[in-house]
Amino acid sequence: MTDNVALRLEAVGRHFKEGEGKLTILDGAEVEVRAGEMIALVAPSGAGKSTLLHIAGLLERPDTGEVYVGGEACGSLGDDRRTQMRRRSIGFVYQFHHLLPEFSAIENVMLPQMILGLGRSDAQLRAQELLDYMRIGKRALHRPAELSGGEQQRVAIARAVANSPHVLLADEPTGNLDPTTAGYVFDALTALVRQSGVAALIATHNHELAARMDRSITIEQGRIVPHRFG
């Protein structure tokens, strides 16, 4: 990866038809996220935050521009290769944990690894290490319904990084948590990012948490610009 850049959006444009005209969501949007860096994406509803994350996560294709993940241009990749890239190189954390309710915490973290072909014992070992790192190792055999909101979200974070991705994308990862629990989960997420070297782009409305990241960006008129607090 050039200069340790794990994710790069270059002149990305995204438009939708609106009646006889078009609605421009992104217009030449550009951002770089380096390994081990945490960037806060702070933007009002309707500004294009979700679209930006979907494009960065290869869930949606831009109309113009390019997306580089781990130095690889992804715009012209076929669907199979894009799916493979998402599984290997990109981790996702959402506002709601989306854990599989019928599986234990450790099994939820094992599954992405086994989908990529890792053996059960090796997947279990790594899953336990991640849960221990997130300080919920003792809850490994509990199902999601038996965990608190903060514990569920820490399991979701462990699952997101289980395959050692280049990029971690998070959409309001503490949005459903009370302030104290949100702070604890954010501390755990920060430690994991620093330790693993994953590049993290985190959408949040929480200005206090955003101010603790390396830098903060927003979307104005379809472009990515620095976000100023206050």
Which amino acid, 18? Answer: E
* Residue 132 pLDDT > 80: yes
Please report the pLDDT score of residue 230 as a whole number: 56
64-69 and 5-18 strand pairing: antiparallel
pTM: 0.89
Please report the pLDDT score of residue 174 as a whole number: 83
Q: What is the mean pLDDT of residues 142-164?
A: 92
* Residue 156 pLDDT > 70: yes
Please report the pLDDT score of residue 6 as a whole number: 93
Q: What is the mean pLDDT of residues 46-66?
A: 91
Comparison of pLDDT for 28 and 18, the residue scoring more: 28
pLDDT digits (tens, 9 = 90+) for 59-109: 999 999 999 999 899 988 899 999 989 988 999 988 777 899 999 999 999
* Residue 182 pLDDT > 90: no
Which residue shows structure tokens 């200005």? 207
Q: For all residues of the chain together, what is the average pLDDT?
A: 90
Which residue shows structure tokens 């790192």? 133
223-226 and 215-220 strand pairing: antiparallel
* Residue 124 pLDDT > 50: yes
Please report the pLDDT score of residue 1 as a whole number: 43
Q: What is the mean pLDDT of residues 185-196?
A: 87
Per-residue confidence at 196, pLDDT binned at 50, 70, 90?
confident
Q: What is the mean pLDDT of residues 15-40?
A: 89
Please report the pLDDT score of residue 121 as a whole number: 94
Task: Please give the Cα distance from 49 to 26 (Å, whole number).
Answer: 9
DSSP the chain: -GGGEEEEEEEEEEEEEETTEEEEEEEEEEEEEETT-EEEE---TTSSHHHHHHHHTTSS--SEEEEEETTEE-TT--HHHHHHHHHHHEEEE-SS----TTS-HHHHHHHHHHHTT--HHHHHHHHHHHHHHTT-GGGTTS-GGGS-HHHHHHHHHHHHTTT--SEEEEESTTTTS-HHHHHHHHHHHHHHHHHH--EEEEE-S-HHHHTTSSEEEEEETTEEEE----
- Give domain 38-60+84-216's CATH number out of 3.40.190.10, 3.60.15.10, 3.40.50.300, 3.90.1150.10: 3.40.50.300
pLDDT digits (tens, 9 = 90+) for 209-224: 899 999 999 999 889 9
pLDDT digits (tens, 9 = 90+) for 99-120: 999 999 999 999 999 998 999 9
Share of the chain above pLDDT 90, in %: 58
